[in-house]
């Protein structure tokens, strides 16, 4: 079954590319806008889905924003197109935060920044990421939707 938006478009039909981010114990499936200008200076918007959703939760936002702004969303470990870690220790909070770091590195390099948007469980992860003094410098902004504050 191919992933689609509610209108039936695939990520590639929306101008998005699928990327696999290797992250130690997992492979993360990400969709992002295609890089048409290698000198793009706007920070991408990175969407974090809730549990047990996938990047498809953001299909309307991806569809609406992709033509005008760099965007990305990924399936968190163990859901959607991402692989499952080996054993329960693979679901520690620190591993999820490391995944976000790896995805940001893939998007904008080790010094780059993103606008982070989280929903539900993605909001919890976003707050933890933004509250970590070593990781907060990776963010231009953080938006929490339908999650604890």
Segment 43-67, tens digit of pLDDT: 999 999 998 899 999 999 999 998 8
pLDDT for 67: 87
- Report yes or no on whether pTM surpasses 0.85: yes
User: What 3-state class would DSSP assign to 80?
Assistant: coil
Lay out the sheet containing 114-119: strands in order across: 16-23, 26-33, 71-74, 45-48, 114-119, 139-145
pLDDT for 2: 45
> Is the separation of the CB atoms in 87 and 60 below 8 Å?
no
Write out the DSSP string of 36-68.
Answer: S-TT--SPPEEEE--TT--GGGGHHHHHHHTTT
Calculate the average pLDDT of the chain.
89
Looking at per-residue pLDDT, the higher value among 6 and 102 belongs to 102
Q: Helices 121-131 & 93-108, crossing angle to 10 degrees?
A: 80
Residue 79: pLDDT band (50, 70, 90) is very high
**pLDDT tens-place string over residues 93-119:** 999 999 999 999 999 999 999 999 999
């Amino acid at each position: 079954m191919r992933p689609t938006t509610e209108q039936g478009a695939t990520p590639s039909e929306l101008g998005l590319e699928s990327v696999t981010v290797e992250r130690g114990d997992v492979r993360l499936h990400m969709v992002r806008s295609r890089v048409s200008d290698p000198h793009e200076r706007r920070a991408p918007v990175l969407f974090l889905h809730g549990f047990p959703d996938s990047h498809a939760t953001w299909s309307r936002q991806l569809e609406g924003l992709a033509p005008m702004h760099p965007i990305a969303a990924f399936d968190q470990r163990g859901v959607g197109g991402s692989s499952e870690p080996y054993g329960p220790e693979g679901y520690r909070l620190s591993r999820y935060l490391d995944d976000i770091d790896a995805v940001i590195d893939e998007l904008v390099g080790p010094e780059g920044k993103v606008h982070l948007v989280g929903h539900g469980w993605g909001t919890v992860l976003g707050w933890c990421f933004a509250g970590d003094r070593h990781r907060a410098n990776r963010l231009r902004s953080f938006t929490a939707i339908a999650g604890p504050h």
